[in-house]
Amino acid sequence: MTTNPTFSMSTGFGAVLIGATLASALFGATTMLFFVYYRRYSQDRWFYRLSLAILWILDVLHFVLALHILHFYLVDSLGDVLALSKMVWSFKLDFSTHLATTVGVDLVCVIRLCILGRYFHRIVPWILSFVFAGAVTVMVVLIYEVYIISKFSQFSDISRIMDGALVVGAVVDLTICLAMSFYLFKSREIILSSGTSGRLIVLLRLVLMSGLAQTAASILILVAFLTLPDTLIFVAIAFPVPRLYIISLLTMLNARTPQSSNRSGNWKARLPMRANEAHFMSLNFMDVTVTDEDFMVE
């Protein structure tokens, strides 16, 4: 990145200010969705409740670090060309928080899909696990490389790993989107309740839109990084992305019928299982309970 102060403040930190402002606005939306989730689904499995609690902590940390970044560059370092060219510690930590949030959301989705995949095609969970493991490896390497550099101009030195991470991120998002859409479509074929089928159609559309939006965001960041390497526009685009991931996950979770309704039970769709797997397991991204019984609707 150039050290010209005018250029930095317009296409550099001016763009970052816009991205951080948008991300801050989305912080209110994520906080509301977290509140709705814990209010309605407090009896969800401990893994999901713990995972979302960690994601909320990362979301708050992302918000606080964004404030520190803006204050450091736009207030404390205003007019200091040397300081504007360097990466403050909060920028690197926020970068790591960004990646941890996206990986965390993907992990929750992959685990849910792997559980569900046992009852359809067993090869899909293996594919998801392999793709996700590759993504985690690339992200860890990228975080290490970012902590090594000290100036924005040195982003060009790690351009290959940056490009690879963005491409891998887009592939993971698209893979998860297609796998979840496939499972929802297969579930819709064997569910007898028209009400349940309608909810699955809504979820299917939601999954497709959110997955494609996440993939498009990764591609947009990559394009900005490749075409505008001397600016921080790609950073500005990346700022709201973690919250888009969280909003996507929470919107999908909160689209389910509240648990109180499930207990009172106007209906409940069930899928068959083999006799040696005759235990109840909630498929949390849709209102379906898997049992060893025949197809039935209560």
pLDDT of residue 190: 54
Low-confidence ranges of the chain (pLDDT < 50): 2-6, 192-193, 261-298
Note whether residue 291 is domain-resident. no
- pTM for the model stands at 0.80
Structure tokens at 293: 């019984």
Note whether residue 23 is domain-resident. yes
Note whether residue 292 is domain-resident. no
pLDDT of residue 196: 52
pLDDT of residue 192: 47
Note whether residue 114 is domain-resident. yes
**SS3 track for the chain:** CCCCHHHHHHHHHHHHHHHHHHHHHHHHHHHHHHHHHHHHCCCCCHHHHHHHHHHHHHHHHHHHHHHHHHHHHHHHCCCCHHHHHECCHHHHHHHHHHHHHHHHHHHHHHHHHHHHHCCCCCHHHHHHHHHHHHHHHHHHHHHHHHHHCCEHHHHHHHHHHHHHHHHHHHHHHHHHHHHHHHHHHHHHHHCCCHHHHHHHHHHHHHHHHHHHHHHHHHHHHHHHHHHCCCCCHHHHHHCCHHHHHHHHHHHHHHCCCCHHHHHHCCCCEEECCCHHHCCCEEECCCCEEECCCCCEEC
Structure tokens at 206: 């939601």
**SS3 track for 61-90:** HHHHHHHHHHHHHHHHCCCCHHHHHECCHH
Question: What is the residue range of 180's domain?
Answer: 5-264
CB burial of 99-128 (b: ≥16 within 10 Å; e: otherwise) equals bbbbbbbbebbbbbbbebbebbeeebbeeb
CATH number at residue 246: 1.20.1070
Task: Work out how many domains the chain is built from and give that number.
Answer: 1
pLDDT of residue 284: 42
pLDDT of residue 289: 40
pLDDT of residue 203: 61
Note whether residue 124 is domain-resident. yes
pLDDT of residue 282: 39
Note whether residue 202 is domain-resident. yes
Note whether residue 294 is domain-resident. no
Note whether residue 173 is domain-resident. yes
Per residue in 156-206, pLDDT (tens digit) is: 899 899 999 999 988 888 888 888 777 777 665 555 445 555 555 666 666
